[in-house]
Amino acid sequence: MTIVHSAPKFASNEGVLDSLSAALGDMLVAAKEEHGEIVLTVARERLVEALTLLRDGHEYQQLMEIAGADYPARAERFDVVYMLLSLTKNHRLLIKVSASEATPVPSVTGLWPVAGWLEREVFDMYGVLFAGNTDLRRILTDYGFEGHPFRKDFPLTGYVELRYSEEDKRVVYEPVQLAQDLRQFDFMSPWEGAHYVLPGDEKAAEIDRGAAK
């Protein structure tokens, strides 16, 4: 006889948003449900307090991930997103804080030791600083790497590449040998060969008029 175990159903968001918003009180900046997920934005300086409350008082025991997002036009250009899972309620939350390049986010390594590596990844990719992380160094890029690849203003191909030289028996850095046409892409030029006009593309109309002459 074969026994089939069905996956547990995720708890409903109904009532959870209001309950958690009330519990967080003045720690909460904004709260919403989006794409089936509850998203809570909390004050950066009270992040540890808020996550402690959610872990110990509301059974969101597991830190699944820490992610970053970059919005260069904002004064605090970065969002740092914490993804929490309740194993007992079978429910997850997204907790967000904002930060600039000069405003460190409190480390949560005291709550979840695994956060050490996750914070290092966000630091490496975005340049977000985490106050209290005693080992905040690059984790995905090379130690001599310059810049932060997931920032919106980072060049698409970079300017240098590295490889291991059998002749020198070490890692060497060399200029990227790629066409540079797209490095200063202005987000308005139409793609070559396209038979349609990109929405909002002002140059496309001018090129079409020139070709018709």
Single out the residue of 47, 45, 67 nearest to residue 118, CA to CA: 67
Indicate if the pLDDT at residue 90 is higher than 80: yes
Tell me the CATH number of domain 16-136, given options 3.30.1330.10, 3.40.30.10, 3.90.1640.30, 3.30.460.80. 3.30.460.80
pLDDT in tens, 136-165: 999 998 877 888 999 998 877 777 787 889
Q: Which one-letter amino acid corresponds to residue 34?
A: E
171-203 as b/e, with b when 16 or more CB fall inside 10 Å? eeeeeeeeeeeeeeeeeeebeeeeeeeeeebee
pLDDT in tens, 180-197: 555 555 555 555 555 556
Predicted local confidence at residue 173, as pLDDT: 84
* Cβ–Cβ under 8 Å, residues 178 and 157: yes
Maximal CA-CA distance, the chain = 78
Q: Is 150 exposed, middle or buried (CB count within 10 Å of its CB: 0-12, 13-18, 19+)?
A: middle
pLDDT in tens, 1-18: 555 444 444 556 778 999
Q: Estimate the share of the chain in helix, then strand, then coil, as percent rounded to the nearest 5.
A: 25, 25, 50
The β-bridge relationship of strands 91-99 and 37-42 is parallel
Single out the residue of 59, 20, 58 nearest to residue 41, CA to CA: 20
Domain extent listing, the chain: 16-136
Q: Which one-letter amino acid corresponds to residue 31?
A: A
pTM: 0.74
